Structure 1
Amino acid sequence: MKPFKIILLLLNLGCVFTVCAQIPDARFNLLLKAPINTWDEAIPLGNGLMGGLLWGEDNTIRLSLDRGDLWDERTTGEKEWWKKYTYQKGAEMIAQKKFSTVNEWWDGPYNGVSPTKLPAGRIEIKLPVGQIAKSFELKLATAEGLAYFKSGAVVRALYSASEPVALLSVKGTIPDAVDLLSTSDVYRKNVDEKGGPSSGGSVSKLGYPDAVKGKKGNAQWYIQEAAEGLKYCVYIEKKVINKETLLAVTITSTSDAGDFLSLAAKRCMVALAKGYEANLKPHKQWWNAFWQKSSVSVPDTAVQKQYNLVQYFYGAASRLNAPPMPLQGVWTADNGSLPPWKGDYHNDLNTQMTYMAYQESGRFDEGASYLNFLWDRRDSFRAFAKDFYGTKGLACPGVMSYSGQPLGGWGQYSMSPSMSAWSAHLFYLHWAYTADDKFLKEKAYPWSSEVGECMLGLLKKDANGILKLPLSSSPEMFDNSPKAWLEPNSNYDLMSLKMLFLSLKEMAEACGKSSDIKKWDEAATALGDFHTKDDGTLLLDANNELKSSHRHLSNIIGLYPFNLITTENGEKATQIIDASLKSWDKLGTSQWCGYSFSWMSCLKARVGDAEGAVKDLDIFVKAFVLRNGFHVNGDQTKSGFSDFTYRPFTLEGNFLASQAVHEMLLQSWSSAPGKINTGVIRIFPATPEKWANASFTNLRAEGGYKVSAIRKNNLTVGFSIVASKAGKVRIKDNFDGRKPKWSIKNVNKTGDVYEVNLIKGQKVSASF
Structure 2
Amino acid sequence: MLVKTTVDWPSFMARHDLTWSVKPISWDEGAFIGNGVIGAMIYSEEHRDKRHVLRFVLGRTDVTAQKPGGGFPPRVPVGELHLELTGWYYQPSSIRIDLWNAEMRAEITTTVGTVNVRAFVHSEEAVLAVELETSESEKDARMTWYAFSEVDPVLKNADGINLNQYIPKAEVVRQTAADELTVGVQKFDYEGGCTTAWTESQAPSSPYLRRLWLSIENGFDEQVQRKVEANVREAAKQPWETWVEAHRSWWHQYYRQSFVSIPDTMLEGFYWIQMYKLASATRSDGMIMDNQGPWLTTTPWAGVWFNMNVQMSYSPVYTSGRLEIGESLVRAFRDNMEQLIRNVPEKYREDSAGLGRSMSYDLAGEVGTEVGNLTWVCHNLWRQYRHTMENALLEKLLFPLLKRSVQYYLHLLERGDDGRLHLPPMISPEYGSFLQLTVPDTHYDLALLRWGCQTLLRMCDILGIQDASQSRWEETLEQLTPLPVDETGFMIGAGQPLEFGHRHFSHLMAVFPLHLLSGDSPEERELILRSLRHWFLREGDLRGFTFTGAASIAAAVGEGDEALKYLRALMHLIKPNTMYKEAGPVIESPLAGAEAIHDMLLQSWGEEIRVFPAVPSEWKEAVFHHLRAEGAFEVSAVRSEGTTAWIRVKSLAGQPCRIKTDMRGVIRMSASAAVQLRALGGGVYELELPQGEEAVLYSADHPAAAGRAWAIEPVPAQSHLCGYFGGRKPWRLYGLPIQ
- Measured against the shorter chain, the TM-score band is 0.7 to 0.9
Distance in 2 between residues matched to 1:396 and 1:75, nearest whole Å: 24
Distance in 1 between residues matched to 2:97 and 2:326, nearest whole Å: 23
**2:704 corresponds to which residue?**
none
Question: Which letter does structure 1 place at the counterpart of 2:545?
Answer: Y
- TM-aligned CA distance change 1:703 to 1:75, over 3 Å: farther
- TM-aligned CA distance change 1:442 to 1:35, over 3 Å: same
1:253: Cα distance to partner?
2.9
**1:426 corresponds to which residue?**
380
- TM-aligned CA distance change 1:434 to 1:728, over 3 Å: same
User: Which residues in structure 2 correspond to 1:102-181 (within 5 Å)?
Assistant: 115-129=73-87, 132=90, 134-150=93-109, 153-173=115-135, 174-181=139-146
**1:450 corresponds to which residue?**
404
Assess if the C-alpha contact under 8 Å between 1:55 and 1:61 holds in 2: yes
User: Which residues in structure 2 correspond to 1:272-287 (within 5 Å)?
Assistant: 272-287=236-251
- TM-aligned CA distance change 1:298 to 1:277, over 3 Å: same
- TM-aligned CA distance change 1:729 to 1:34, over 3 Å: same
Distance in 1 between residues matched to 2:90 and 2:33, nearest whole Å: 22
User: Which residues in structure 2 correspond to 1:135-534 (within 5 Å)?
Assistant: 135-150=94-109, 153-173=115-135, 174-186=139-151, 188-190=153-155, 194=158, 197-199=160-162, 201=164, 206=168, 208-216=169-177, 218-242=180-204, 243=206, 244-254=209-219, 258-333=222-297, 337=298, 339-341=299-301, 343-387=302-346, 392-406=351-365, 412=369, 416-482=370-436, 484-487=437-440, 489-515=441-467, 517-533=470-486
- TM-aligned CA distance change 1:389 to 1:419, over 3 Å: farther
1:73: Cα distance to partner?
3.7
1:536: Cα distance to partner?
6.8
- TM-aligned CA distance change 1:451 to 1:530, over 3 Å: same
The one of 724, 742, 753 aligned to 2:669:
742
1:19: Cα distance to partner?
10
1:227: Cα distance to partner?
4.8
Assess if the C-alpha contact under 8 Å between 2:28 and 2:576 holds in 1: no
Cα offsets for 1:594-626 (capped at 9, x unmatched): 1111221111111111111000101111x1111
Distance in 1 between residues matched to 2:259 and 2:140, nearest whole Å: 40
**1:654 corresponds to which residue?**
590
Assess if the C-alpha contact under 8 Å between 2:321 and 2:627 holds in 1: yes
Question: Which letter does structure 1 place at the counterpart of 2:75?
Answer: K
**1:644 corresponds to which residue?**
none
1:360: Cα distance to partner?
0.2
Distance in 2 between residues matched to 1:299 and 1:50, nearest whole Å: 34
**2:555 corresponds to which residue?**
605
Distance in 2 between residues matched to 1:697 and 1:76, nearest whole Å: 52
1:518: Cα distance to partner?
4.1
Aligned residues between the structures = 678
- TM-aligned CA distance change 1:200 to 1:501, over 3 Å: farther
Cα offsets for 1:493-545 (capped at 9, x unmatched): 10111112212222221111233554433333332311112x47111112111
The one of 748, 751, 764 aligned to 2:681:
751
Helix, strand or coil at the partner of 2:96: strand
Assess if the C-alpha contact under 8 Å between 2:628 and 2:635 holds in 1: yes
**1:632 corresponds to which residue?**
581
Assess if the C-alpha contact under 8 Å between 2:547 and 2:567 holds in 1: yes
- TM-aligned CA distance change 1:345 to 1:460, over 3 Å: same
Assess if the C-alpha contact under 8 Å between 1:399 and 1:407 holds in 2: no
Distance in 2 between residues matched to 1:567 and 1:506, nearest whole Å: 22
Distance in 1 between residues matched to 2:688 and 2:399, nearest whole Å: 27
Assess if the C-alpha contact under 8 Å between 2:3 and 2:648 holds in 1: no
**1:584 corresponds to which residue?**
535
Helix, strand or coil at the partner of 2:288: coil
1:445: Cα distance to partner?
1.7
Distance in 2 between residues matched to 1:202 and 1:725, nearest whole Å: 47
TM-score normalised per structure 1:
0.84
Check if 1:717 corresponds to 2:645. Answer: yes
Question: Which letter does structure 2 place at the counterpart of 1:592?
Answer: L
User: Which residues in structure 2 correspond to 1:60-75 (within 5 Å)?
Assistant: 60-74=53-67
**2:733 corresponds to which residue?**
none
Cα offsets for 1:343-383 (capped at 9, x unmatched): 21111111110111100001111111122112211111111
Assess if the C-alpha contact under 8 Å between 1:140 and 1:309 holds in 2: yes
Distance in 1 between residues matched to 2:459 and 2:340, nearest whole Å: 21
Question: Which letter does structure 1 place at the counterpart of 2:35?
Answer: N
**1:675 corresponds to which residue?**
none
Distance in 2 between residues matched to 1:446 and 1:460, nearest whole Å: 24
Helix, strand or coil at the partner of 2:679: strand
1:480: Cα distance to partner?
4.2
Question: Which letter does structure 2 place at the counterpart of 1:36?
Answer: P
Distance in 2 between residues matched to 1:477 and 1:201, nearest whole Å: 22
Assess if the C-alpha contact under 8 Å between 2:488 and 2:534 holds in 1: no
1:734: Cα distance to partner?
2.6
| Structure 2: unaligned runs, 5 residues or longer | 46-50, 700-739
Question: Which letter does structure 1 place at the counterpart of 2:579?
Answer: F
Helix, strand or coil at the partner of 1:158: strand
Distance in 2 between residues matched to 1:391 and 1:472, nearest whole Å: 23
- TM-aligned CA distance change 1:229 to 1:591, over 3 Å: closer
Cα offsets for 1:252-298 (capped at 9, x unmatched): 2338x643222222211111111432221111111111011101001
1:388: Cα distance to partner?
8.1
**1:764 corresponds to which residue?**
695
Helix, strand or coil at the partner of 2:403: helix
Distance in 2 between residues matched to 1:350 and 1:698, nearest whole Å: 27
Helix, strand or coil at the partner of 1:284: helix
Query: Which deviates the most, 604-613 or 456-465?
Result: 456-465
- TM-aligned CA distance change 1:538 to 1:292, over 3 Å: same
**1:38 corresponds to which residue?**
26
Distance in 2 between residues matched to 1:517 and 1:280, nearest whole Å: 55
Helix, strand or coil at the partner of 2:343: helix
1:203: Cα distance to partner?
5.4
Assess if the C-alpha contact under 8 Å between 2:54 and 2:82 holds in 1: yes
User: Which residues in structure 2 correspond to 1:664-703 (within 5 Å)?
Assistant: 664-670=600-606, 679-703=607-631
**2:726 corresponds to which residue?**
none
- TM-aligned CA distance change 1:765 to 1:202, over 3 Å: closer
Helix, strand or coil at the partner of 2:44: strand
Distance in 2 between residues matched to 1:238 and 1:187, nearest whole Å: 23
Query: Which deviates the most, 517-526 or 47-56?
Result: 517-526
Helix, strand or coil at the partner of 2:171: coil
Q: Report the RMSD for the aligned CA atoms in angstroms.
A: 2.5
Distance in 2 between residues matched to 1:181 and 1:407, nearest whole Å: 37
- TM-aligned CA distance change 1:126 to 1:203, over 3 Å: farther
Distance in 2 between residues matched to 1:578 and 1:455, nearest whole Å: 29
**2:737 corresponds to which residue?**
none
1:402: Cα distance to partner?
1.7
Helix, strand or coil at the partner of 2:676: coil
Cα offsets for 1:456-494 (capped at 9, x unmatched): 233333344433333322111111425x1112x111110
**1:83 corresponds to which residue?**
none
- TM-aligned CA distance change 1:258 to 1:380, over 3 Å: farther
Helix, strand or coil at the partner of 1:582: helix
1:682: Cα distance to partner?
0.6
**1:639 corresponds to which residue?**
none
1:167: Cα distance to partner?
0.9
Cα offsets for 1:739-760 (capped at 9, x unmatched): 3221146311223221011111
Distance in 2 between residues matched to 1:23 and 1:479, nearest whole Å: 47
Distance in 2 between residues matched to 1:123 and 1:382, nearest whole Å: 42
